[in-house]
Chains A and B, each alone.
Chain A
C-alpha cells in the first residue's frame, strides 16, 4: 500500500465531508428524510477513507519507507515496532491525521449508534461535525501533508525524540485527542440544537454520553501525560503548569462543568442556554489547545510545529468555529430560556456552583497561560507566568468546590435543606477531624497545608460514601433491605460516587506528594550507603546494558529497611545514539504509604555518581484515585437511561427516564 493511496483517500474524505456538511443540513431544513439519510452514509464513508489514509501512513512507518519525508524525519529502522507504530502520531503531520481520524470516528459512531435520535437533530449534528472535518482536512492537505515524498530517499531515518519512546507517551496523544475531539460531539449537538431551536431533557440525554466519553478519554490522556512526566523527567514532579499541560486542563475543566450542567438540563429542564454555551466553550477550548500546541506559539518541548502558516490556519479555524458558534448562540440562544425553577440551596444550585467555580478556574488558567503571549504581542514586554502564580490562584478556587462537593449530592432538587444535609454529613466532618488528628499525631507536627488537604480529602470521601449509605438507607432499614437497594442503585449514581471518591483519593495523593516530599541530591560512590526517609539506600554500582536502540547505564541500588533487604532498584540513564540524546528512567518503589524514587545522573571523574532520591508520600493515591474517577465515568456512560435512544430500547418501550431519579 503506497502513501499516495492514503493521500488520495484523504482528498476524497474532504469531498465526502463537504457533501455531509451540506446535504443533510439542507434536508433537515426541508424535512426531507432521504436527504437527511445522506449524513449517515457519508459519515461512515468518511471514516473509512480517513482510516485508509491513516493506515497507509502507519504502514509506511512500520515498513520504514524512508522515501516518505515524514517517516524519514521521524523514524528509524532500529526502533522497536511499538514506537514505529506510535511514531505515526509522534510528529505534527501524523498527529493531525490522528486528529481527523478520531473526528471521523466520532462521526461514524454517531451515524451508527444514534439511530434513536430525532432525525433532524442527528442530520444537523452530523452536518456540523462534517464542517469541522472540512476545516481540518484542508489544514492537513494545504499546510501539513504527511504523505510528501523525498527523492532520493535517505538510507535511514532521523529517529524519534527518545522522550517520546515510552509506553506512557505512546498512548498519551491518542487519548488526549479522543478527549479533545470528542468534545466536538457536544459542539455539534449544541449547534444543531441552536439551528433547530430546541433544547430539552432528551437533548441533554443524547449529549451526555458523548461528553462523558470525551471526558473519560481526556482524563486518561492528562493522567498518562502526568504519570509519564513523573517517571520519565527524573525530578519526581507530576504537574508543572506547563502551557501545554494547561492547554489540556482548560478543556477538562470546561468539560467537567458541562457534564454537571447537562444533568440539570436532563433532570430539571433548566440552565439550557448556559449548557449549550458551555458546550460551545468546551470545544472552543479544545481547538484553542490544539492551536497552542500545534502552532508552536508556545515554545516548549511539545510544540514541534514551527511553521507560522500552520498557526494562522488553526487560528482561523478556531475563530470560525468558536466565533460562529457564539454568533449563532447570541442570535438563537435567548429562545432557550425557561425551565424548572430552583433555589440557590438545592441540587441544581450546587451544580450551578460547581459550574461557577470550574468556569472561573478554566478562565483563570487560560488567562495565566495566554498572558505572556498577549502582553508580548502588544509590546508590553516579556513576563513569565509560572507555577507560583497558578498555585496561588488555583488552589484557593478548588477549596470551596471540594467542600461543596460532599454537600451537593445530599441536597434535594428545587429546594434543599442545608441544615439537614449537614446533619447527614456529621460522619464526614468526623472523618475529616480524625484524619487531621491522625496525621498530626503520626508526624508529631502540624503542617497547615497538608492537614487541610487531607481533611478535605477525608471529608469528600466520607461525604460521598455517606450519600451512598443514605441512598440505600443503610442502618435505617434491615441490612438485607439495604443490600437489595444497593443492587437497585442506577449505574449513573455509582458513577458519581466513584468519580467523587476517586477525586478525594487524588486530593490525598496531591497533598501528600506536595507537602511531605523529601528529597536529596548526593554524590555516591559504589559501595556507599545513605539513610534516607527511613530507608537505607545502598549504591552497588553501574553497569552498561544494551537496549534495542539505546545504550543504558543501569545503576543498581539495594534498599534496606533496618537490616532486611526490601527492594533492588535499577534506575537507568539511556543514550540514544541515532538521535544523540539522553533520557533518565527513574526507578520507583511504590507502596500505599509513598514512592521511593531514584534517578541516577552523570558519572564523575572519581567514579562517583550523582544520585537523586525522592520520597513522595501517598503518590499511589493520586494514580489510583484517577483510575477510580475514570471508572466512575465509565459506569455512568453505561447507565441504561443514557442508552434509551438505542433502537431496540425504543421499540420495546423502555422505562422512561423520568421514572427514575
Chain B
C-alpha cells in the first residue's frame, strides 16, 4: 500500500512537471500509459517531443505518442531507455531510424528523395507569384499605354500634319 502511495506521489510529481512543460510542446494527444512515464521530468518531456515525430508503424498516420498499439508502446519505452542511458535527442531518433528506416519519421528528412517535397511548396509559391506578376504586367501594358518615344512623337506629328486640311 505504502509502495503504491509512493508511486502515486512520484507519478503526480512527474505529471505536474509535464503539465508545466505542456505549453512548450507542439501538442497532439497522448496514449502514453502511466507506467511508461519516466521518473525524470526532463527526460519525459524530451521523450514526448521525440515520440510525436515518430510514426507508429503498424497503424496509419498516428505517432507513437498517440497510438495504443503494442509496437508503439515498445518504441515509447525504447525512446525513454535510450534517453536514460544518456543519448541525445538526435541519437535516439537516429537509432530508431537505423532500425526502421525513414518511414518511421513523421517529419520527413531533407534528402535526395524528399527534395521535391520540401522545395515543392517554395517552387509552387514562386510560380504562383510569378504568374500573378506577369498577369499584372501584361494588363498594366494594356491599361496605360507607354509614353511615346521621340521617333513616335515625330511620326505622329507628321501624320497629324498630313491629315490637316
Contacts and interface: CB of A to CB of B under 8 A. Distances in A.
Interface in A344-368: 344, 352, 356, 359-360, 363-364, 367-368
B108 A383 contact: yes
A243 interface: yes
A610 interface: yes
Contact of A382 (B30, B34, B35, B102): B102
Contacts of B22: 517-519
A209 interface: no
Nearest to A597: B29
A387 B31 CA distance: 17
B27 A514 contact: yes
Interface stretch (B77-85, B110-118, B149-157): B110-118
B139 interface: yes
B23 A515 contact: yes
B60 interface: yes
B38 interface: no
Given A515-B23, A518-B22, A386 B106 contact: yes
Interface stretch (A17-25, A215-223, A232-240, A418-426): A232-240
A342 B45 CA distance: 53
B23 A384 contact: no
Interface stretch (A29-37, A150-158, A309-317, A388-396): A388-396
B128 A356 contact: yes
A610 B128 contact: no
Nearest to B7: A523
Contacts of B28: 235, 237, 240, 387
A113 interface: no
B23 A385 contact: no
Contacts of A478: none
B90 to A, nearest CB: 15
B102 A381 contact: yes
Interface string A545-571: 000000000000000000000000000
Contact of A610 (B27, B34, B120): B34
Contacts of B142: 341
A523 B15 CA distance: 11
B96 interface: no
A68 to B, nearest CB: 30
Contacts of B30: 235, 519, 521, 612
Nearest to A523: B34
B37 interface: yes
A614 interface: yes
Contacts of B95: none
Given A391-B26, A521-B30, A384 B136 contact: no
Contact of A381 (B15, B106, B113): B113
Which residue among A342, A367, A380, A614 has the maximum number of chain B CB atoms within 10 Å of its CB? A367
A388 B106 contact: yes
B143 to A, nearest CB: 4
B55 interface: yes
Given A341-B142, A364-B120, A521 B113 contact: no
A368 B124 CA distance: 13
Given A356-B128, A364-B121, A384-B104, A243 B29 contact: no
Q: How large is the interface on A (under 10, 10 to 19, 20 to 34, 35 or more residues)?
A: 35 or more
A341 B143 contact: yes
A558 B37 CA distance: 26
A516 B37 CA distance: 21
Given A341-B142, A364-B120, A385 B108 contact: yes
B83 to A, nearest CB: 18
A447 interface: yes
Contact of B32 (A516, A518, A521, A606): A521
Q: Which of B34, B63, B103, B104 has the most C-beta atoms of chain A within 10 angstroms of its own C-beta?
A: B34
A571 to B, nearest CB: 14
A56 B12 CA distance: 57
Given A235-B31, A367-B117, A386-B63, A530 B19 contact: no
B23 A447 contact: yes
A434 interface: no
A397 B139 CA distance: 27
B41 interface: no
A191 B33 CA distance: 55
B107 A388 contact: yes
B35 to A, nearest CB: 7
A384 B55 contact: yes
A383 B103 contact: yes
A627 B148 CA distance: 57
A78 interface: no
Interface string A9-47: 000000000000000000000000000000000000000
A143 interface: no
Contacts of A380: 113
B41 to A, nearest CB: 13
Nearest to B133: A344
Given A388-B107, A389-B107, A300 B102 contact: no
B61 interface: yes
A612 B32 CA distance: 9
Contact of B27 (A234, A242, A298, A519): A519
B47 interface: no
B121 A367 contact: yes
A298 B60 CA distance: 9
Nearest to A339: B139
A522 B27 contact: no
A263 B52 CA distance: 42
Contact of B19 (A341, A387, A520): A520
A356 B132 contact: yes
A81 interface: no
B77 to A, nearest CB: 15
A359 B128 contact: yes
Contacts of A359: 128
A371 B116 CA distance: 9
B125 interface: yes
9 closest residue pairs by CB, A with B: A235-B29, A386-B106, A388-B107, A523-B34, A382-B103, A364-B121, A341-B143, A517-B27, A300-B60
Interface of A: 234-237, 240-243, 298-301, 341-342, 344, 352, 356, 359-360, 363-364, 367-368, 371, 375, 380-389, 391, 393, 397, 447, 450, 514-523, 530, 532-533, 606, 610, 612, 614
11 contacts: A237-B29, A243-B61, A359-B128, A363-B121, A381-B102, A386-B61, A387-B106, A517-B23, A522-B11, A523-B11, A533-B19
Given A522-B15, A612-B29, 19 more contacts: A235-B29, A242-B61, A359-B128, A360-B124, A371-B117, A380-B113, A384-B103, A384-B104, A384-B108, A385-B106, A385-B108, A385-B117, A387-B63, A389-B117, A447-B23, A450-B23, A522-B12, A523-B35, A614-B29
